[in-house]
């Protein structure tokens, strides 16, 4: 009986042991698992304020290229504005209308001088060309003479070379009669042969030089003949030019005196602009009037507003196409009749 009870107690103890071990394992595992760390959400960081991007500075646009006519027009307009607004000491008290009249009168006188020059035609240019050609022919003759002199000197040099070679030939031939062995004979024979070749070469060069001299002399004769003809032509052209100039000299001198008197009355800056326009114009006109609502120089259309400004005669106005100074027809006709 006692053994049976002990066995039951042991069984109970054995049943309690696994339960206790299970509870211990649960507690141990609970301790082993760490508590979840309370992770606080990070405060939402405000995005850094973006710096405004620097605005790209646009490159300055290149100014459009102006034509030559526009540049001329702007220059003349500035000069005209300065002269009308300020008025230099030379033209103090002169109105714009009077300045325009002076410019037109100057233009008419200069045009008369141009007509006198056209009467001469191309004679002055022909005379100049003939003079240049005569100078060139004389220079060519001098060069031919120098070349002939050089060829003659070369002929003298070759003749001296021939005489020296002949003397050596005679000397070696006399020595050939007194040779003692074959070696001396061969050497002397070679010297004689060499000098004979030198003589032949010099004679050939002399013939070439003489042929060149004859050729140069023929060229000199042809050049002299051409030179004489050009001199006669030059004398004739100079005579014709002198006759034409003598006929118009008095008239041209009077016109040039008028030009000087007008230039003294016109402001220097305006006068320089007038001369510059005349130089660039084909027909030599720097002052033109309006014809059929167009510029009298380039025949481009003029806007009505600009025509009104020209008729008012308050400022000097130039053509925006050719740069010429423009006048209204009434002022042009009045000035021309007064002249």
Q: Residue-wise pLDDT tens for the chain (339 aa)? A: 444 455 554 555 544 544 444 444 444 444 444 444 344 444 444 444 444 444 544 555 554 555 555 555 555 555 545 444 433 334 456 788 888 888 888 888 888 888 888 777 778 888 899 999 999 999 999 999 999 999 999 999 999 999 999 999 999 988 888 888 889 889 989 999 999 999 999 999 999 999 999 999 999 999 999 999 999 999 998 888 888 888 778 888 888 888 888 888 888 888 888 888 888 887 888 888 888 888 888 888 888 888 888 888 888 888 888 888 888 888 777 776 665
Neighbours of 326 (CB within 10 A): 23
CB-facing half-sphere around the CA of 53: CA atoms within 13 A: 3
Query: Which pLDDT belongs to residue 337?
Result: 66
Query: Which pLDDT belongs to residue 338?
Result: 61
Query: Which pLDDT belongs to residue 336?
Result: 67
> CA-CA distance, 264 to 270, in Å (whole number)?
11
In 165-191, which positions are buried (b, 16+ CB within 10 angstroms) versus exposed (e)?
beebbeebeeeeeeeeeeeeeeebeeb
Query: Which pLDDT belongs to residue 24?
Result: 46
User: Cα torsion for 222, 227, 229, 231, to the nearest 10°?
Assistant: -170
Query: Going by DSSP bridges, is the β-strand pair 325-327/294-295 parallel, antiparallel, or unpaired?
Result: unpaired
Note whether 269 and 68 are within 8 A (CB): no
Query: Which pLDDT belongs to residue 71?
Result: 56
- Using DSSP, state whether 63 is helix, strand or coil: coil
Query: Which pLDDT belongs to residue 34?
Result: 43
User: Cα torsion for 176, 178, 181, 185, to the nearest 10°?
Assistant: -10
Query: Which pLDDT belongs to residue 311?
Result: 85
Q: Is the pTM of this model over 0.85?
A: no
């Amino acid at each position: 009986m006692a053994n049976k009870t002990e066995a039951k107690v042991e069984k109970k103890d054995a049943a309690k042991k696994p339960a206790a071990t299970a509870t211990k394992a649960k507690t141990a595992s609970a301790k082993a698992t760490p508590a979840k760390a309370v992770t606080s959400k990070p405060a939402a960081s405000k995005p850094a304020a973006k710096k405004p991007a620097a605005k790209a500075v646009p490159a300055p646009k290149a100014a459009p290229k102006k034509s030559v006519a526009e540049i001329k027009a702007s220059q003349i307009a500035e000069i005209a504005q300065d002269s009308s607004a300020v008025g230099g000491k030379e033209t103090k008290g002169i109105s714009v209308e009077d300045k325009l009249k002076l410019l037109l009168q100057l233009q008419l006188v200069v045009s008369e001088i141009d007509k006198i020059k056209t009467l001469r035609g191309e004679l002055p240019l022909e005379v100049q060309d003939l003079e240049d050609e005569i100078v060139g022919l004389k220079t060519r003759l001098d060069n031919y003479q120098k070349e002939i002199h050089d060829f003659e000197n070369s002929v003298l040099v070759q003749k001296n070379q021939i005489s020296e070679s002949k003397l050596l030939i005679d000397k070696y031939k006399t020595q050939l009669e007194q040779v003692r062995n074959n070696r001396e004979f061969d050497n002397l024979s070679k010297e004689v042969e060499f000098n004979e070749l030198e003589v032949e070469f010099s004679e050939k060069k002399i013939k070439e030089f003489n042929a060149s001299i004859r050729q140069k002399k023929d060229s000199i004769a042809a050049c002299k003949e051409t030179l004489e003809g050009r001199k006669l032509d030059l004398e004739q052209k100079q005579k014709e030019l002198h006759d034409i100039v003598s006929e118009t000299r008095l008239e041209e001198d009077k016109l040039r005196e008028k030009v000087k008197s007008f230039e003294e009355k016109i402001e220097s800056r305006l006068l320089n602009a007038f001369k510059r326009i005349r130089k660039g114009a084909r027909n030599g006109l720097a002052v033109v009037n309006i014809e059929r609502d167009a510029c009298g120089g380039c025949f481009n259309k003029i806007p009505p507003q600009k025509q009104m400004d020209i008729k008012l005669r308050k400022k000097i106005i130039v053509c925006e196409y050719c740069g010429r100074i423009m006048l209204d027809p009434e002022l042009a006709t009045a000035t021309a009749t007064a002249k």
